[in-house]
């Protein structure tokens, strides 16, 4: 049996696993008095042991841009809306809301409390949102995307942060005003950058906020009990002060950071994990296991060429590289987890248009399909335009197992198919790779983007001027003009015309080969058979555990 063979191999090479929890050092005067912190995590009820494949950078919603970090934050903190099992926005901290003729939203907050007993107030949202501008948060651009009044002017340095269009009328009434109406505003509200932060508590913590359980508060289903930044294991327990605590069956969660997929699988087999993320090799071997689950993801993996590089500034060179490797082979021979080739920059299943069709079906656009002959012709044209006969480039990527395999395959294919091209591979820890790309200090980066909300703008905004994730610093006057129109009132109230502009913008990305798509990700996991109710989402939070049932 394939399964027995793989177990034998794992056991032969992996003799022992150490998963020691990394807790914080004692603090003389802890800031927080969380009732849940310090409680025995083995109290009555199930502790769900969850695998993550990379260390958590930060649990401060204003200081991270990583999907796993957002998942962890969303397990502890709840915003105005949360999402149901189907991914639709439903009320969270907002018990009810209304929208007036000017498009202003008024939220009536429910009676809810932080884990230290403080009430959740409208000012907690005002403070958190303004704080994102003062830090500034990596995702502060979403306030502009949402069309919130004065967000654009504040980002441009033209207005003060205090002029952001969010106001606390009283402790339980929050008002949000807009420059431009936003059709997907409710779905944005369960993205962590819009979550509340307790003003008095955060100001008392200062720079220590989010660094340890005593410096963090929850208003959601779970509260932190053991944690240090970049820990290999951290724990949460059920938040008894959560307004919907009666609906939460789990006694807590333990997150275990395990980089090696075989070690993670062995831990799952030994009962140390209830949820295990599978590598491509294990996904292929275990696809018939009754506990195997493959879930679609909105994550798009792509190569981002740095336009500042003298060679990559040439569009023919970019197009040649984008066409010279076999994406089908990446998905079928390397990943083997259900991922699909991507010949587009806006994923399948992201958003439904006014025509009732998925955007990809409505658009029909594809680009950079695998075609060696065409790639070689484009390559020759690009070399001639540059006046060179060879090019050396470095491809940077995350030092994760499956990413490394994909990078090696792309390197081999590009060097075989494009004469004169030398690709040097350089792995980095995820954060370092991300920091290099944000600083535009790279040649080509293999990276991914997961959607923040269910609209094509969550991708198209990436390649606009000044955005952090416009890694290659590509610019187009025409593109900026179209993106500007999409965000005006005229097109906000005309969804059909807006959809056509979105297609025009995507066409420019394709024509210019701004990014070189590789695949749309599918996640493969093992989940113990007695566990149900984990919600998987392509937008916003990867996994939600509030409604998990045991047995």
Cβ partners under 8 Å of residue 432, min gap 6: none
Rounded CA separation 73/220 (Å): 9
Angle, alpha carbons 278-280-281 (nearest 5°)? 95
Q: What pLDDT is recorded for position 40?
A: 43
Residue 33: its pLDDT value, please? 59
Asked whether the beta carbons of 18 and 222 are under 8 A apart, the reply is no
Q: Across-strand partners of 292?
A: 526
Q: State the number of CA atoms in the 13 A half-sphere of 79 facing the CB.
A: 25
- Predicted confidence band at 16 (pLDDT cuts at 50, 70, 90)? very low
What sign does the dihedral 247-250-255-260 (CA atoms) show? Answer: negative
Length of the chain counted residue by residue: 551
Distance CA 177, CA 167 (A): 9
What tokens were used for 500? 């056509």
Other beta carbons within 10 angstroms of residue 480's beta carbon come to 14
Q: What pLDDT, in 10s, does the model give residues 424-433?
A: 999 999 999 9
Phi, psi of 17 (to 5 degrees): -125, 135
Which pLDDT band holds residue 34 (cuts at 50, 70, 90)?
low
Per the prediction, the chain carries an average pLDDT of: 89
Confidence of residue 26 (pLDDT cuts 50, 70, 90): very low
CATH 3.40.190.10 for domain 47-256+528-550, yes or no, is no
pLDDT the model gives residue 21? 31
What pLDDT, on the 0 to 100 scale, is given for residue 32?
A: 59
| Cβ neighbours, 10 Å, residue 471 | 25
Going by pLDDT thresholds of 50, 70 and 90, the confidence category of residue 54 is confident
Q: What is the reported pLDDT for 18?
A: 34
Cα atoms in the Cβ-side hemisphere of radius 13 Å centred on 366: 10
Would you call 224 helix, strand, or coil by DSSP?
strand
Q: Nearest-CA neighbor of 277 among 28, 14, 523, 510?
A: 523
pLDDT in the model for residue 331: 93
Q: Over 80: is that where the pLDDT of 44 sits?
A: no
State the Cα–Cα distance between residues 165 and 126, nearest whole angstrom.
9
For residues 367-386, give the mean pLDDT: 98
pLDDT at 68 over 60: yes
Nearest to 306 by CA among 465, 476, 443: 443
Residue 315: what pLDDT?
98
Q: What's the DSSP call for residue 25?
A: P
- pLDDT band per the 50, 70, 90 thresholds, residue 158: very high
Q: How confident is the model at residue 285 (pLDDT cuts 50, 70, 90)?
A: confident
**More confident position, 453 or 404:** 404
Q: Is the peptide bond before 513 cis (omega within 30 degrees of 0)?
A: no
**What's the mean pLDDT in 152-173?**
96
d(CA 10, CA 164): 55
Choosing among 3.40.30.10, 3.10.105.10, 3.40.50.720, 3.40.190.10, the CATH entry for 296-523 is: 3.10.105.10
The stretch 241-264 carries a mean pLDDT of 95
Residues 373, 485: contact at Cβ < 8 Å? no
Interval 436-463 mean pLDDT: 93
Residue 203 neighbours by CB under 8 Å, 6+ apart: none
Domain boundaries, the chain: 47-256+528-550, 296-523
95 and 86 Cβ atoms separated by less than 8 Å: no
pLDDT tens digit string along 100-122? 988 899 999 999 999 999 999 99
**pLDDT grade for 306, boundaries at 50, 70 and 90:** very high
Q: Give the tens place of pLDDT for each residue, 530-547.
A: 999 999 987 878 899 999
Tens-digit pLDDT profile for residues 209-236: 999 999 999 999 999 999 988 889 999 9
Query: Which candidate, 419, 393, 411, places its Cα nearest to that of 326?
Result: 411
Residues 234 and 228 sit within 8 Å (Cβ to Cβ): yes
37-51, 202-216, 260-274: the lowest-pLDDT one: 37-51
Structure tokens at 414: 């590009």
């Amino acid at each position: 049996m394939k399964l027995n063979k793989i177990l034998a191999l794992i056991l032969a090479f992996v003799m022992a696993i150490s998963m020691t929890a990394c807790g914080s050092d004692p603090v003389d005067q802890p800031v927080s008095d969380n009732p849940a912190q310090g409680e025995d995590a083995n109290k009555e009820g199930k502790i769900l042991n969850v695998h993550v494949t990379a260390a958590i950078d930060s649990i401060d919603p204003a200081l991270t841009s990583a999907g796993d970090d957002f998942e962890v934050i969303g397990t502890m903190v709840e915003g105005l809306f949360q999402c149901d099992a189907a991914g639709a926005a439903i009320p969270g901290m907002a018990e009810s809301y209304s929208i007036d003729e000017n498009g202003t939203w008024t939220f009536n907050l429910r009676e809810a409390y932080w884990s230290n007993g403080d009430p959740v107030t409208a000012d907690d949202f005002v403070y958190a949102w303004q704080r994102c501008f003062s830090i500034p948060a990596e995702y502060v651009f979403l306030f502009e995307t949402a069309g919130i009044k004065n967000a654009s002017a504040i980002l441009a340095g033209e207005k003060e942060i205090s002029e952001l269009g969010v106001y606390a009328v009283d402790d339980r009434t929050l008002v949000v005003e807009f420059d431009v109406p936003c059709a997907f505003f409710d779905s944005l509200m369960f993205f962590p950058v819009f979550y509340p932060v307790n003003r008095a508590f955060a100001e008392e913590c200062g720079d220590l906020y989010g660094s340890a359980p005593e410096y963090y508060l929850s208003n959601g289903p779970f509260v932190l009990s053991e944690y240090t930044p970049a820990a290999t294991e951290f724990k949460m327990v059920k938040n008894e002060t959560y307004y919907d605590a009666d609906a939460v069956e789990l006694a807590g969660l333990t997150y275990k950071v395990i980089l090696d997929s075989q070690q993670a699988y062995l831990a799952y087999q030994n009962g140390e994990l209830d949820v295990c993320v599978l590598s491509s090799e294990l996904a292929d071997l275990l696809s018939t296991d009754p506990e195997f689950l493959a879930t679609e993801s909105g994550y798009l993996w792509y190569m981002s060429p740095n336009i500042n590089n003298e060679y990559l500034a040439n569009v023919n060179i970019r197009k040649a590289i984008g066409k010279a490797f076999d994406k089908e082979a990446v998905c079928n021979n390397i990943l083997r987890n259900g991922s699909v080739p991507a010949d587009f920059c806006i994923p399948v299943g992201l958003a439904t248009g006014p025509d009732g069709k998925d955007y990809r079906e409505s658009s029909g656009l594809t680009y950079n399909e695998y075609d060696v002959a065409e790639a070689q012709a484009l390559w020759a044209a690009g070399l001639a335009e540059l006046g060179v006969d060879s090019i050396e480039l470095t491809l940077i990527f995350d030092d994760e197992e499956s990413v490394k395999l994909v990078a090696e395959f792309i390197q081999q294919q590009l060097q075989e198919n494009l004469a004169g091209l030398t690709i040097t591979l350089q792995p980095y820890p995820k954060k370092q790779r991300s920091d290099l790309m944000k600083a535009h200090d790279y040649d080509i980066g293999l990276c991914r983007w997961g959607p923040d909300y269910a609209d094509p703008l969550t991708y198209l905004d990436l390649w606009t001027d000044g955005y952090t994730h416009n890694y290659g610093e590509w610019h187009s006057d025409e593109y900026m003009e179209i993106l500007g129109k999409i965000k005006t009132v005229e097109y906000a109230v005309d969804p059909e015309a807006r959809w056509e502009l979105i297609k025009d913008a995507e066409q420019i990305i394709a024509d210019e080969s701004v990014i070189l798509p590789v695949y749309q990700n599918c996640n493969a996991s093992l989940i113990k058979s007695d566990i149900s109710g984990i919600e998987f989402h392509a937008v916003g939070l990867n996994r939600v555990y509030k409604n998990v049932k045991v047995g």
